[in-house]
Structure 1
Amino acid sequence: MAIKGQGRVAIVTGASSGIGRATAVGFAEAGFQLAIGARRAEKLQAVVEELTNITGHAPLAAPLDVTSTESVEAFVSGVIEHYGKVNVLVNNAGKALGVDYIDERANEDDWETMLDTNVMGLLRMTKRLVPHLVESGDGHIINIGSTAGHEAYAGGGVYCATKFAVRAITGALRQELLGKPVRISSIDPGMVETEFSVVRYHGDSERAAQVYEGLRPLTAEDIADAIVYTATRPHHVNIDTMILKPIDQADAKRVARKGQED
């Protein structure tokens, strides 16, 4: 039996577009109160307007850069001051940059950005919110991982490493919070068509589009649906890990494309 939001407070990071935006919409439709954060203020404001149209009242929205301790602390303080509690944390902010092999040609700035965003960003948010999630008596941490956290591939070594780290952190949290009223879940998508590949290829939209040519990838709404489903199970039910891939994807390298022979 699904449990609706019932006034529970959900934080979504990286909420200005893609999976984050779709998740915020899904939570709003399910009756959650929302606190959304992202770096891009203009895009975040557009999400605020969308959510206001759904619920009739504006969510709490504030700038959030998970690579900055000061930004994270200001955001979390604002949420607690505004709502007085937090029930759900969706650690969605993350990115892939480049497809460099691990050799002398690799861009180390890309590596550092991925590690700081995907791993340290998730840790910064989680560290500061665990006490509030426990205090709520009905807490839930939902980390957005990836199939890249289950299999490595050439050109994705560092990105995969960050998602393997998310998987490890999720498992450790599940042990550390055992016996406390906090569920720990990981949603691990495969190929999802969002801005992900455009960012990965540093704004080359033509190259990004080629990633999905001839197949039907998942959408941000597909992943958001899984996240909302996970968050609306009865509190004694914990969905540990949910792996989602399009029917046209077998693994990181094997996909079925129209017109492609076996």
Structure 2
Amino acid sequence: MSTSSAGRWAVVTGASSGIGAATARQLAAAGFTVVLGARRIERLTALAEEIGGKALPLDVTDQESVDAFVAQVPECHVLINNAGGAKGLAKIADAVEDDWRWMWETNVLGTLRVTRALLPKLVASGDGHVVTVTSVAATGVYDNGGGYTSAKHAQGALHRTLRGEHLGEPVRFTEIAPGAVETEFSEVRFAGDKERAAAVYRGITPLTADDIADVITFAVTRPPHVNLDFIEVKPRDQHSATRMHRHE
């Protein structure tokens, strides 16, 4: 049984592409009025027109941008913390601090800024729900991924702490931890190298952005007393962040 989403407002960060855009579409189809936030406002505007949503510029690494964004959100019943990403694939001995700083600013502090700013509206809604998209990297580690895995571990810890801090209040918390999803993620990690990005998914059938959006939409349309705390989603071909069955 799902709940009616008519009259409910959802905020999606990182909504200009990938999981964010797919989630915005599915939430709109489920009846939500969707506020889309991202830096690429031209993409957002086109998507907002398509789904009848509201496009607003948002840079989660900038507190002033977050404040301006939240000031234009009239209500918030659902927040999808989707903005994030990875840069580089270097050993810790060769770590590029600027890459680490960007990953922590985007994944961890970005989630903190947006969630902290919208929590009063989420609680005031009487039935709020925070969904944070982390990764299988939030619970495991792998060689050359220290910057990303440490950021995702921290993001997951932040989100899970909220569950206890707001126990007894009318707000739910769900963490979605995807495995291999074929989006622009790997292109960003490899600085636009499309061939290297494509190799990540070669020989497997990866998840799509719509697969994750399906799960998010399911979670936020459960009855108010149902809290799906943690959902890890991987392709059938993937066992862990480093182990996959690649078909010839």
The answer to whether residue 133 in structure 2 is matched with residue 136 in structure 1 is no
Gaps of 5+ in 2: none
1:60–1:79 contact (8 Å) kept in structure 2: no
Q: Look up the equivalent residue of 1:64 and give its one-letter code.
A: L
Asked if 1:96 corresponds to 2:86, the answer is yes
- 2:24 aligned residue: 24
Matched, 1:71 2:60: no
1: CA distance, partners of 2:177 / 2:149: 12
Does 2:183 correspond to 1:194?
yes
**217, 230, 239: which one aligns with 2:228:** 239
Deviation per CA, 1:186-230, whole angstroms, max 9, x where unpaired?
Answer: 000000000000000000001000000111000000000000000
Determine the C-alpha separation between the residues in 2 that align with 1:126 and 1:37: 13
Q: Deviations over 1:116-174 (max 9, x none)?
A: 00000000001111111111101000000100001000111110111111211121100
Q: How does 1:99-138 map to 2 (within 5 A)?
A: 99-103=89-93, 105-138=94-127
CA contact (8 A) 1:151 1:252 kept: yes
Cα distance in 1 between the residues matched to 2:96 and 2:147:
11
| Deviation per residue, 1:54-88 (Å, 9 max, x gap) | xxxx31111000000000000000112xxxx2100
> Kindly, what percent of the aligned residue pairs are identical?
54
- How many Å apart are 1:43 and its aligned residue? 1.5
Q: How does 1:148-187 map to 2 (within 5 A)?
A: 148-187=137-176
User: Number of residue pairs matched?
Assistant: 248
1:55 paired residue number = none
Write the distance in 1 (CA, Å) between the matches of 2:193 and 2:145.
18
1:47 offset after TM fit, Å? 1.2
Distance 2:50 2:209 in 1: 16
User: Cα distance, 1:4 vs. partner?
Assistant: 3.0
RMSD: 0.8
3-state DSSP class of the match of 1:224? helix
Shift in Å at residue 106 of structure 1?
A: 2.1
Confirm or deny that 1:61 pairs with 2:58: no
Q: Give the letter aligned to residue 148 of structure 1.
A: A
Residue 48 (structure 2) aligns with: 48
Give the match's secondary structure for 1:211: helix
In structure 1, what is the Cα distance between the partners aligned to 2:106 and 2:175?
17
SS of the residue corresponding to residue 79 of structure 1 reads: coil
Q: Matches of 1:134 and 1:256 in 2, distance apart?
A: 44
Q: Which secondary structure state, in structure 2, belongs to the residue aligned with residue 183 of structure 1?
A: strand
In the TM superposition, 1:198-217 aligns within 5 A as 198-217=187-206
- The letter of the residue matching 1:131 is P
- What's the CA shift for 1:49? 2.8
User: Contact 1:36–1:59 at 8 Å: present in 2 too?
Assistant: yes
The answer (yes or no) to whether the contact 2:41–2:55 under 8 Å persists in 1 is no
Name structure 1 gaps, 5 residues minimum: 52-57
8 Å CA contact 1:197, 1:208 repeated in 2: yes
SS at match of 2:131: strand
Taking structure 2 as the reference length, the TM-score comes to: 0.98
Q: Give the conservation status (yes or no) of the 8 Å contact 2:187–2:193.
A: yes
TM-score of the superposed pair, with normalisation by structure 1: 0.93
Structure 1 consecutive aligned stretches of length 4 or more whose deviation exceeds 2 Å: none
